[in-house]
Chains A and B, each alone.
Chain A
Amino acid sequence: MTSRLRALAATAASVPITLFGLAVVTFLIGRVVPIDPVLAIVGDRAPQDVVERARLELGLDQPLLVQFWHYLGQILSGDLGRSVMTANPVTQDIARYFPATFELATAAIILAVLIGVPLGVLAATRQDSWIDQAVRLFCLAGHSVPVFVLALLSLMVFYATLHWAPGPGRQGILFEDMVDIRTGLLTVDTALAGDWPAFRDALWHLAQPAGVLALFSLAYIARMTRAFMLAELRQEYITTARAKGLSPLRIVWRHAFGNVLVPLVTVLFLTYAGLLEGAVLTETIFAWPGLGQYLTVSLLNADMNAVLGATLVVGLIYVALNLLADFLYRVMDPRV
């Protein structure tokens, strides 16, 4: 137990160093930007003395190291600067946009697990059969589709041709602003309010982008599940269980799958982190007002505070998820 705790402490100790590195990277990106942050605030017609004053206020006349020190202080107190575009503090913007991304990514990972895990187990139990080959090919294909092409294709088929899915956005016009925002997750908010038509509408709007986003993680999860299961099914205790005459279902799900669960949870967390990346592209196409859309819109408007703030937050979430995966792995696996 003590060795486990020590290993965990070592991992946790490396986190501040990584976070420090994150801050260095975003700070440096912010400094090499060709856009003059002063002009972005005062406008390019401002008189010289106004420009000078803004430069002094921003501390841009000080050495880089001093500026970095201030930057660190600001981050630690939760101040990511003000967005030029929305005129709000970036932290406030991110807090507003993040729930939509969280909802989208969570729905996607749930779909990916529900489909990907059984698919991987199925392929592993029928190794080298046509089912296995089909699953392998499907996984490789799922890994190769650009998510934005898939999103366009899905809009074309399910929205325009079949009329199964609603259009882009998080909810229909009829339901907009009908429910108080509590968690920012529309499906949860509408359910809490007991407004079932609105709930159905929110779920309906969520299904398509989540399905598109899920495919990549689904392919990865199915692939990893298959690999883990194959390794496990080769173990001797499985042969013993077979010799004892246990039913195949029981062997696969109770014995083998039980042992696969631990590495699989780690994979899940890593995939979840990867969903943030896919969300940037998916949100752009489905007009989903999340962090990804905030990031790209800020990028195109050269709103550097917002871009770097969002990047930093995504990096933070990424590190946190990795740490959590590591932690769970150590807690759940008695051998580690």
Chain B
Amino acid sequence: MTTRAWLLSDTPASRRQAVWGRRYQGWLALKRNPLAVAGLVIVLLMLAMAAAAPILATHDPGAQNLANRLQPPSAAHWFGTDELGRDVWSRVLFGGRLTLGMVVAVVALVAPIGLILGAVAGYAGGWLDRVLMRVTDVFLAFPRLILALAFVAAMKPGVESAVIAIALTAWPPYARLARAETLMVRNADYIAAVRLTGASGARIVLRHVLPMCLGSLVVRVTLDMSSIILTAAGLGFLGLGAQPPLAEWGTMIATGRRFILEQWWVPLVPGVAIFLISLAFNLLGDGLRDVLDPKQR
């Protein structure tokens, strides 16, 4: 029996076969959507490029060469040089590490916390639930960027503060989502059955409720990526994220913006990078939603 036949079997013999069969079918459905595949390819490519930045970079991203400043794109400097003669291509690569690293850090902080808070609140109900929902209400009552600005103002501008500030503003939607999903399954028969066998509350939430939320969480995270990227870049642009000598896409645009009229490549190259990665995540998220979360269409 080929792997494909095993995966597509209508009568899976084991749990594992059923799970992988479903995943494979999801993948097949996603593959039929050219835009989603394009998004996936761009995301993977840009992540790989950021990871391999030291290999792909042609110059040291911090190396200044004032004799060679604001040069147009050429064979030696593929994307030209900036106001200090630094190579824009290398800086964009290393900037990708910083920008994408910040975004990954935010998601790694926010998704588990929001998920667990939401699931616990939804499963426990009562005053715990009510208090948590009030707290998310308060956080959702600020536009994300403005709340993040205020948080950064309270700390010191920098990469860590930006990550913490964005994380603080980004968790409530995840908690809401997990709570809504939990409310849907909490009275299901299978939960009652698990409870009858004597499973503890923690076990029920971790093993039987949380996995049900994962599908919509993945969709939500992918669609949210673009907004997190734009917020991170916006903070950098306003001078509150990564600080100047560091190469971060938003910061690069902020320092290069006065050259927009003559040496457009200085601010536009990182701008296009932000646009591409954020569009790719949106395309991918849109495709994933159709596959993983058909009820939200």
Q: Which A residues lie at the B interface, using CB under 8 A?
A: 14, 17-18, 21-22, 24-26, 29-30, 32-34, 137, 140-141, 143-149, 152-153, 155-156, 160, 227, 273-274, 276-277, 280-281, 284-285, 295-296, 299-300, 302, 304, 307-308, 311, 314-315, 318-319, 322
Contact = CB atoms under 8 A, between A and B. Distances in A.
A33 B234 contact: no
B135 A21 contact: yes
Given A152-B271, A280-B145, A308 B239 contact: no
24 contacts: A17-B137, A18-B138, A25-B138, A25-B142, A29-B153, A33-B153, A143-B278, A144-B282, A145-B275, A146-B271, A149-B267, A149-B272, A149-B275, A152-B260, A153-B260, A153-B271, A160-B261, A280-B145, A281-B145, A281-B237, A281-B238, A296-B238, A299-B238, A299-B240
Contacts of B264: 156
A299 B152 CA distance: 9
B274 interface: yes
Contact of B237 (A24, A148, A276): A148
B260 A155 contact: yes
B7 interface: no
B146 A21 contact: no
A153 B283 CA distance: 23
Contact of A322 (B141, B149, B250, B272): B141
Contacts, number: 145
Nearest to B264: A156
A153 B238 contact: no
A311 B297 CA distance: 34
Contacts of A300: 239
B257 interface: yes
A26 B141 CA distance: 12
A154 to B, nearest CB: 10
Contacts of B143: 273-274, 276-277, 314, 318
A277 B279 contact: no
B275 A302 contact: no
B59 interface: no
Given A22-B141, A155-B260, 17 more contacts: A14-B137, A18-B137, A22-B142, A25-B147, A29-B154, A33-B154, A34-B155, A140-B283, A140-B286, A144-B226, A146-B230, A146-B253, A148-B234, A160-B260, A227-B297, A273-B143, A315-B146
Nearest to A139: B282
A29 B151 contact: yes
B75 interface: no
Contacts of A315: 141-142, 146
Given A32-B154, A277-B144, A311-B146, A285 B257 contact: yes
Nearest to A29: B154
By CB atoms of chain A within 10 A, which of B142, B274, B275, B283 has the most? B142
Nearest to B267: A152
A280 B237 CA distance: 11
Nearest to B152: A299
B138 A22 contact: yes
Contacts of A18: 134, 137-138, 141
Contacts of B237: 146, 148, 281, 284
Nearest to B142: A315
